[in-house]
């Protein structure tokens, strides 16, 4: 059922990426296998130097997004940050750091982190859109996401089925216009998929404080009903995209570009492209295979690349993500410059 969206716009978008390191270096060091390289078709991943940390990358992305939006940090009334690893340690959140580093004055601004895995940025879009519709038109929402995938928390090359890249992205949402209107947005949570990111081990101190890196692929392989996972993911992707497209009044065939998580060739095809009957020409594939999986920043960084680097022409674009725990979000954007 179609419901009115209201006028919320994407006023600014920015991505900040460290230099890329060719996968050949990891292969030569024995950190990765040629079979995995062939399955992902990854060419390189972005790697931040040791002295660079994800919250500072997020601040840099936020400043650039605000500059492109021609808006002031003082207008921010909602700051939502996403990160899967916390360089500040436990019981610390990045949103307040980003907020402070931008020089936002004390006031009625909600600052908080979101923990929806790779879907966090798009969940932030849905929350921010609803929030702004109840606020003064001059107020802004800031969405940031950043991670640097370092040991001992993760193994950049082996923790998942695709290698991780370091980087950050930011978006500024406004009711006063921007380069794109949020024409449709939908989220779907599927509890059946919750164990995929947890595995089947009981809650124990050792499980909470692993001695080595987290291996998401091992957790997923523990699920006894794995044969049901992919049909479930396919159904959920189709449903959440259909709902967002219906709100926007478009069909999947009307979409000029699609940006989904950067998961390498085989997983991207299975998880997102096949369910929507799309091929790699629909996504910024060459960009993603040179960056790696950034985590929650993927959709925003991909859109930034299309809009501000390649400067593609488009009327409708889809941002799509699936987060650990079983949450999916689809956002249909309509260009205001078309």
Each domain of the chain, given as residue ranges in start order, spans: 9-179, 183-335
For the stretch 72-131, pLDDT in tens is: 999 999 999 999 998 888 889 999 999 999 998 888 899 999 999 999 999 999 999 999
Indicate the burial class of 320 (C-beta count within 10 angstroms; 0-12, 13-18, 19 or more): buried
Q: What is the mean pLDDT of residues 239-260?
A: 98
pTM of the full structure: 0.94
Q: Check residue 201 and report its DSSP letter.
A: -
Residue 3: predicted pLDDT: 43
More confident residue, 215 or 195: 195
Strands 167-174 and 327-335: unpaired
> In b/e form, how buried is each residue of 186-222, taking b as 16+ CB within 10 angstroms?
bbbbbeebebbbbbeeeeeeeeeeeeebbbbeebbee
pLDDT band, very low/low/confident/very high, at 213 (cuts 50, 70, 90): confident
Q: Are strands 44-46 and 9-16 parallel, antiparallel or unpaired?
A: unpaired
- Class of 9-179 per CATH? alpha beta
19, 119, 197 from 149: Cα distances, Å: 14, 17, 17
What does the pLDDT read at residue 202?
73
pLDDT on residue 195 = 79
Reduced to 3 DSSP states, what percent helix, strand and coil does the chain have, rounded to the nearest 5?
40, 20, 40
**Least reliable range by pLDDT among 55-59, 85-89, 219-223:** 219-223
Is there a common fold for 9-179 and 183-335?
yes
Q: Residue 298 in contact with residue 291, Cβ under 8 Å?
A: no
Superfamily grouping for domain 183-335: Thiolase/Chalcone synthase (3.40.47.10)
pLDDT band for 198, please (50, 70, 90 cuts): confident
Cα–Cα distance measured from residue 45 to residue 21, given in angstroms and rounded to the nearest whole number: 5
Q: What is the mean pLDDT of residues 44-66?
A: 98
In whole angstroms, give the CA distance from residue 314 to residue 231.
Answer: 31
Token pair 């790697």 is found at 47
Which pLDDT value is given to residue 224?
A: 52
Name the average pLDDT for the chain: 92
In degrees, rounded to 5, the angle at the alpha carbon of residue 39 between the alpha carbons of residues 35 and 45 is 95
Give the tens place of pLDDT for each residue, 139-175: 999 999 999 999 988 999 998 889 999 999 999 999 9
pLDDT for 4: 44
């Amino acid at each position: 059922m179609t419901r009115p969206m209201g006028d919320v716009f994407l006023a600014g978008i920015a991505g900040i990426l460290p230099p890329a390191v060719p996968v050949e270096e990891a292969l030569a060091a024995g950190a990765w296998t040629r079979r995995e390289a062939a399955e992902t078709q990854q060419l390189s991943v972005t790697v931040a130097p040791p002295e660079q940390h994800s919250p500072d990358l997020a601040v840099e992305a936020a400043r650039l997004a605000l500059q492109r939006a021609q808006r002031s940090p003082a207008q921010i009334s909602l700051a939502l940050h996403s990160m899967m690893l916390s360089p500040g340690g436990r019981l610390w959140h990045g949103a307040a750091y980003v907020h402070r580093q931008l020089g936002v004055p004390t006031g009625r601004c909600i600052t908080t982190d979101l923990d929806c895995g790779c879907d966090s940025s798009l969940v932030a879009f849905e929350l921010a859109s609803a929030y702004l519709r109840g606020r003064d038109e001059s107020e802004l929402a800031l969405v940031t996401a950043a991670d640097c995938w370092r040991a001992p928390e993760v193994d950049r090359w082996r923790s998942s089925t695709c290698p991780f890249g370091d980087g950050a992205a930011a978006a500024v949402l406004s009711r006063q216009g921007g380069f794109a209107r949020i024409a449709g947005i939908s989220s779907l949570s599927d509890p059946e998929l919750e164990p995929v990111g947890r595995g089947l081990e009981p809650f124990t101190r050792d499980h909470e404080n692993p001695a080595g890196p987290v291996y998401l692929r091992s957790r997923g392989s523990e699920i006894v009903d794995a044969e049901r996972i992919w049909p479930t993911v396919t159904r959920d992707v189709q449903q959440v995209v259909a709902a967002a497209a219906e709100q926007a009044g478009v069909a999947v065939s009307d979409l000029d570009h699609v940006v989904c998580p950067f998961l390498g060739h085989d997983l991207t095809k299975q998880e997102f492209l096949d369910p929507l009957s799309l091929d790699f020409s629909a996504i910024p594939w060459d960009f993603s295979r040179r960056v790696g999986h950034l985590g929650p920043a993927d959709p925003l960084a991909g859109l930034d690349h299309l809009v501000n680097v390649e400067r593609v022409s488009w009327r409708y674009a889809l941002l799509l993500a699936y987060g650990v725990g079983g949450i999916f979000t689809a956002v249909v954007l309509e260009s205001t410059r078309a």
